């Protein structure tokens, strides 16, 4: 199996792919037209990327069967185009959760104790213990969490250890999801309730059409004057103009790792005005950038590729159909002989009925099997008779409506 790695990737990951029997093409500087050309010319079966965009043109250029996003998100990959071509898209959820959680907690502590300002003052030869002794402390404060996936959960665990109370809003709980057993939380009915009831609001929402711009002026208006606001998730989930206004008007203390507009490369000019505010501390979108996180992501990427090679199955797939157009299942009990299912499929094809999913279960001794064939239309009684009478290897068959 040929794997093209088109982003910076850990040596342990490269070595792991080679140990799994892959031919690895490591070209971390590829992007845009050069990546499209490389996919066309290399005939790679799998593509591994981090932040590099994967477009429909790239997916159509070669013979890819699998794209692995070596990270948690996958918004830089055209999953719709991948789905049209039957290309698996997989990611590595949760592997960077601890790293991002550590940064979120670090930003809270830095804001409360004004650590960057302390450092700057000392470096220019100033000593002002009176000024920098003014801090509220995090113990006993309420941390509000918007989102409670892997990262939100890890933030909650660390905040609980610091003695903070936890107020959470998440669609997971709104839809009846089970509460965590390792950390006490209070579930709020709405995101606005969280904003109104917390001293620190930390955002941990995945970017979806529903969450784009989710944190808007109305939600920010619920925060108490002087509250903290942390975003280590996605810049797009926050209205940054509204946040800048709230930071000025409500004296919010803001910690950011992501922004509305970021340079496309690892280095570049950064002009977002919010980062210049004295009550805003920013980092350079480094949430997942610890050695521990990157090694864990590399190991998970190797696991995904190896599993696909050895079983044909792909862990963590993000672009499978949640529910197929199937309306019924045709259950066929039959002798385990060559051509039985081919006969069934040919009969269905002649009736213009499409097979959406199929499973064939073999019984002990490999003399009999039961096939479950999900169909997008219900076969007529005449077609069912034709299927059964056309093969003496079929014991019986029946329909189950889905």
Q: What is the pLDDT of residues 337-388, one digit of tens each?
A: 999 999 999 999 999 999 999 999 999 999 999 999 999 999 999 999 999 9
**pLDDT value at position 24?**
98
CA distance 322 to 83: 12
Whole-number CA gyration radius for the chain = 27
Q: Please check whether residues 267 and 302 belong to one and the same domain.
A: no
Task: Report the domain count for the chain.
Answer: 3
How big, in percent rounded to 5, are the helix, strand and coil portions of the chain?
A: 35, 20, 45
Asked, for residue 185, whether it belongs to a domain, the answer is yes
User: Annotated catalytic, 234?
Assistant: yes
262 flagged as catalytic: yes
Look at residue 155 and tell me if it is in a domain: yes
Residue tagged active-site, from 160, 285, 303, 333:
285
CATH label of the domain that carries residue 360: 3.30.70.260
Task: For residue 288, give Cα distances in angstroms to 2, 74, 118, 282, 393.
Answer: 27, 14, 26, 15, 57
Within a domain: 320: no
Q: Is residue 350 part of a domain?
A: yes
- Model confidence pLDDT, tens digit, residues 2-57: 999 999 999 999 999 999 999 999 999 999 999 999 999 999 999 999 989 999 99
DSSP characters over 74-138: -TTB-HHHHHHTT-EEE--TTTTHHHHHHHHHHHHHHHHHTHHHHHHHHHTT---HHHHT----S
Q: Is residue 322 part of a domain?
A: no
Using pLDDT thresholds of 50, 70 and 90, give the confidence band for residue 266: confident
**Three-state DSSP class for residue 145:** strand
Average pLDDT, the chain: 95
User: 108 and 60, same structural domain?
Assistant: no
Quick check: is 39 in a domain? yes
- 398 flagged as catalytic: no
The pLDDT assigned to 265 comes to 75
CATH code (residue 249): 3.40.50.720
In a shared domain, residues 275 and 300 = no
Tally of CB atoms within 10 A around 58:
29
Task: Report the pLDDT value the prediction gives residue 204, as an integer from 0 to 100.
Answer: 97
Q: Which of 311, 345, 361 is the last residue of a domain?
A: 311
Buried b (16+ CB within 10 A) or exposed e, 207-243: beeebeebbeeebbebbeeebbbbbbbbbbbbbbebb
Catalytic residue among 41, 249, 262, 310: 262
Residue 347: other Cβ atoms inside 10 A: 18
What is the per-residue pLDDT for 113? Answer: 97
Mean local confidence (pLDDT), 263-291: 91
Query: pLDDT by residue (tens digit) across 125-184?
Result: 999 999 999 999 999 999 999 999 999 999 999 999 999 999 999 998 988 889 999 999
Q: Are residues 79 and 110 in the same domain?
A: no
Does 192 share its domain with 170?
Answer: yes
Marked catalytic residue, from 234, 253, 306, 334:
234
Is the pLDDT at 65 greater than 90? The verdict is yes
pLDDT of residue 73: 80
Please choose, from the candidates 150, 138, 401, 182, the residue with its C-alpha nearest in 3D space to the C-alpha of residue 288: 150
- Position 267 confidence tier, pLDDT thresholds 50, 70, 90: confident
Cα-based distances in Å from 117 to 102, 113, 129, 240, 286: 20, 9, 12, 23, 20
| 277 and 190 within one domain | yes
Same domain, 303 and 227: no
Residue 75: predicted pLDDT = 85
Find, among 48, 44, 73, 37, the residue nearest to 236 by Cα.
73
Q: Are strands 2-5 and 66-69 parallel, antiparallel or unpaired?
A: unpaired
pLDDT of residue 397: 94
Whole-number Å distance between alpha carbons of 319 and 86: 9
Range of the domain at 361: 328-401
349 and 367, same domain (yes or no): yes
Q: Which residues on adjacent β-strands are paired with residue 396?
A: 333
pLDDT at 293: 95
Q: In the prediction, which pLDDT does 177 show?
A: 86
Percent of the chain with pLDDT over 70: 100
| Whole-number percent of the chain with pLDDT over 90 | 91
Q: How far apart are CA 323 and CA 209, in angstroms?
A: 20
Asked if 307 and 356 sit in the same domain, the reply is no
Name every residue whose Cβ is closer than 8 Å to that of residue 123 and which is 6 or more positions away in sequence. none
């Amino acid at each position: 199996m040929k794997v093209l790695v088109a982003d910076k990737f850990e040596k342990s990951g490269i070595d792991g792919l080679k140990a799994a029997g892959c031919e690895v093409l490591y070209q971390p500087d590829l992007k845009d037209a050069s990546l499209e050309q490389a996919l066309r010319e290399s005939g790679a079966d799998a593509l591994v990327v981090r932040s590099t965009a994967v477009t429909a043109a790239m997916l159509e250029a070669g013979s890819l069967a699998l794209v692995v996003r070596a990270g948690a998100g996958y918004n830089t990959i055209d999953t719709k185009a991948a789905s049209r071509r039957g290309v698996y898209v997989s990611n590595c959820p949760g592997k960077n959760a601890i790293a991002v959680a550590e940064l979120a907690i670090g930003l809270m502590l830095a804001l409360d104790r004004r650590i960057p300002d302390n450092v700057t003052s000392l470096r220019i030869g100033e000593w002002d213990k009176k000024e920098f002794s003014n801090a509220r402390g995090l113990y006993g404060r309420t941390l509000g969490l918007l989102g409670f996936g892997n990262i939100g959960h890890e933030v909650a665990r660390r905040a609980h250890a610091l003695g903070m109370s936890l107020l959470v809003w998440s669609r997971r709980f709104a839809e009846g999801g089970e509460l965590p057993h390792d950390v006490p939380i209070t579930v709020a009915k709405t995101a606005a309730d969280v904003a109104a009831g917390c001293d620190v609001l930390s955002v941990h929402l995945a970017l979806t059409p529903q969450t784009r711009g989710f944190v808007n002026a109305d939600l920010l208006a619920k925060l108490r004057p002087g509250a903290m606001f942390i975003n280590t998730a996605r810049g797009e989930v926050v209205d940054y103009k509204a946040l800048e206004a709230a930071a000025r008007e409500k004296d919010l203390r803001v910690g950011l790792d992501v922004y509305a507009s970021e340079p496309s490369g690892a280095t570049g000019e950064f002009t977002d005005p919010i980062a210049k505010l004295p009550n805003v501390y920013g980092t350079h979108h480094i949430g997942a950038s610890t050695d521990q996180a990157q090694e864990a992501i590399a190991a998970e990427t190797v696991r995904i590729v190896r599993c696909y090679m050895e079983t044909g199955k792909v862990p963590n797939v993000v672009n499978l159909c949640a529910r197929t157009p199937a309306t019924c299942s045709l259950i066929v009990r039959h002798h385990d002989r060559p051509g039985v299912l081919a006969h069934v499929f040919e009969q269905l094809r002649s009736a213009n009925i499409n097979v959406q999913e199929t499973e064939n279960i073999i019984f002990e001794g490999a003399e009999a099997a039961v096939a479950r064939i999900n169909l997008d239309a219900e076969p007529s009684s005449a077609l069912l008779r034709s299927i059964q009478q056309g093969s003496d290897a079929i014991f019986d068959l029946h329909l189950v409506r889905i």
